[in-house]
Amino acid sequence: MPSEEAAGIIDLYQRKARDWIESRARSDLFEKPWIDRFRTLLPPAGSILDVGCGSAEPLAAYLIELGHPVAGVDSSPAMIDACRKRSPKQEWIVADMRTLALRRQFSGILAWDSVFHLCHDDQRRMFPVFRAHAAPSAALMFTSGPAHGEAIGNFTGEPLYHASLDPVEYRSLLDRNGFRVVSHVVEDPGCGGHTIWLAQLI
């Protein structure tokens, strides 16, 4: 069963949306090298599904500036409201990623710092969701932990849940859903210590 902390993630980000937006606004786009690498797998102006988009700053905003139409999904209405104010011409959807079914496909799927807030079983169930929204040769990039386990962080004094599967299991899930791993780096020192997976539908 998901822990109390895991079950509280949606509520936490809704209540603390302003704090999160302000904290992210103070950081630079340290993810840029990976976002640029993700883009090399996309067609020009390829459409992108941003799963767990937050306020769209800075990742989706950067992609929009480069000419990519973005559909952003987040479970927090407050985050989506911020997205709509910043980029009203894009599509912003309040939805739980675990039950996402947009019935269309995208050239790229981004799940940066989002899927790792799900419990193990919910993470496993996300890979068919990714596959259902992936156009032929679509790129998929997401972050995880470095090894199987759970960790409780802290955001503005409240517990923030994280979980990760074993890297072997992530590879298996990608393979079973038609994705090949293009690049995988554990705790990349050039990207704030993030563990990153970049894959492509084959």
Find residue 199's DSSP bridge partners. 140, 181
pLDDT digits (tens, 9 = 90+) for 116-136: 999 999 999 999 999 999 999
Burial track 7-28 (b if 16+ CB lie within 10 A, e otherwise): ebbeebbeebbeebbeeeeeee
Q: How many domains does the chain have?
A: 1
- d(CA 147, CA 173) in angstroms, rounded, equals 15
CATH (domain of 123) = 3.40.50.150
What per-residue confidence (pLDDT) applies to 25? 66
Parent domain of 104: 4-201
Average pLDDT for runs of 10 along the chain of length 202 = 68 77 75 97 97 93 97 94 94 97 98 95 97 98 97 86 97 98 98 97 97
- 3-state SS, residue 133: coil
Q: What is the pTM of this model?
A: 0.92
Q: Is 174 helix (H, G, I), strand (E, B) or coil?
A: helix
